[in-house]
Amino acid sequence: MAFNDDDKKMADKSAQRMEQALATSKVAADTYIDQTEAAPLTKGEINRMAFRSLALQASFNYERMQAGGWLYTILPMLRKIHKNPEDLKNSMHMHMEFINVHPFDVTFLSGLVLAMERGKENISTIRAVKVALMGPLGGIGDALFWLTLLPICAGIGASLALEGSLFGPILFLLMFNIAHFGLRFGLAHYGYNAGTSALPLLKANTKRISHAASIVGMTVIGALVASYVRLSTTLTIDAGQAHVALQTDVFDKLMPNLLPLGFTLLVYSLMKRNFSPVKLIGLTVVFGVVGKLIGFL
């Protein structure tokens, strides 16, 4: 059956209408139906969001990482912002997508996202901000908390505990959590109040912040190695009537705490080769016991 020119024109028009309908539906799915700006969130609601962020990793999985905990963190605020059920559904659907961010500074991102949700930004824009900030916030969080704050607090607490003070672990928990919760709640308010204006500042200073925190953290870890890793040898070298103690006459004169440094670097290199921490702890215990029994440690 042959088609005439009129049939072809009608078919082309139908195809154009379908394309326009598809394009319109995509735009509609990316924008909220109710474009009215929601009422501002109160300080209590932002604090509630920061408190709920403690459960960020409660439903952690390898498909969507922290998505369940992320949605739980901001869900009451989303219900306040989106009065239209379809808008709420689309927002929740988007926030159940993959997300992986540091659990301590996540409140900065959740505050910023809630500010964008309140302003009824496009869903694709909010998604893009989440994806763009996951990496920088993860790097800053690791450098600030794991490489800086934790070693400093643990070092102070451990030094008191080694002297027999029961206040050592208590001081460690107090110092770490005062800084942790102060930043968690403070970043929630800062992220919400700053909104998207904080993005250029964060992106411009991410490397500087991470680099500075890494330097401080590495310095603290180096001091902890010298203070708390104890390793010395009792071996001596007899040359005629001369007796040379390897530890005091050789190693200590080359560099104090040379053996602890060498052992720490050995453990680090094994970790880089995917040795599990449990195996390394076991090897350390065996090495110490055997070395003491044989008499060279």
Total of domains in the chain: 2
Query: Rounded distance, CA 78 to CA 123, Å?
Result: 13
Residue 247 inside a domain? The answer is: yes
What residues make up the domain containing 95? 43-226
What single letter denotes the amino acid at residue 215? I
The SS3 call for residue 112 is helix
Residues 6+ apart with CB under 8 A from 139: 206, 210
Q: Which helix (H) or strand (E) holds 244?
A: strand 242-245
Same domain, 218 and 81: yes
Tell me if 31 is assigned to some domain: no
Least confident of 5-19, 93-107, 244-258: 5-19
From the list 29, 24, 117, 104, the residue with the least C-alpha distance to 74 is: 117
Do 116 and 248 have their domain in common?
no
pLDDT at 148: 83
Of the pLDDT bands very low, low, confident and very high (cuts 50, 70, 90), residue 23 is very low
DSSP string, 195-206: GGGHHHHHHHHH
Which has more confidence, 96 or 151?
A: 96
- Same domain (yes/no): 255, 174: no
The more confident residue out of 53 and 262 is: 53
Q: Is residue 17 part of a domain?
A: no
**Which stretch of 20-34, 37-51, 124-138 has the lowest confidence by average pLDDT?**
20-34
The β-bridge partners of 239 are 242
High-pLDDT (> 90) share of the chain, %:
30
Q: Count how many residues are written for the chain.
A: 297
d(CA 144, CA 183) in angstroms, rounded, equals: 11
Residue 248 token pair: 């005091």
CA atoms within 13 A on the CB side of 182: 8
What pLDDT was estimated at residue 22?
Answer: 44
- Please report whether residue 198 resides in a domain: yes
Residue 195 and residue 108 in contact, taking contact as beta carbons nearer than 8 Å = no
In which residue are the tokens 């990316």 written? Answer: 30
In this predicted structure, what is the pLDDT of residue 86?
92
Residue 85 located in a structural domain: yes
Give pLDDT tens digits for 160-208: 888 888 899 999 999 999 999 999 999 999 989 887 565 555 555 555 6
> How do residues 103-150 score in pLDDT, each as one tens digit?
999 999 999 999 889 888 888 888 888 887 887 788 788 888 887 888
State the pLDDT at residue 70: 96
Q: Are residues 211 and 181 in the same domain?
A: yes
pLDDT of 1 reads: 46
What's the pLDDT band for 263 if we cut at 50, 70, 90? confident
**Would 169 be classed as within a structural domain?**
yes
Domain ends where: 178, 197, 226?
226
**Residue 23 included in any domain:** no
Count of CB atoms within 10 A of residue 245's CB? 14
What residues have CB less than 8 Å from 61, skipping those under 6 apart?
68
Q: Which residues of 6-24 are buried (b: 16+ CB within 10 A; e: fewer)?
A: eeeeeeeeeeeeeeeeeee
Answer with the one of 167, 192, 226 that is the final residue of a domain: 226
Is residue 96 assigned to a domain? yes
Total-model pTM:
0.65
Residues 181 and 48 both lie in one domain: yes
Residues 148 and 239 in one domain: no
pLDDT at 79: 95
* 70 shares a domain with 186: yes
- Are both 108 and 235 inside the same structural domain? no
Shared domain for 187 and 64, answered yes or no, is yes
Last residue of a domain, one of 186, 208, 226: 226
pLDDT tens digits, 231-249? 777 777 776 666 767 777 6
- pLDDT tens, 266-283? 888 888 888 887 888 888
As a whole number, the mean pLDDT across the chain is 80
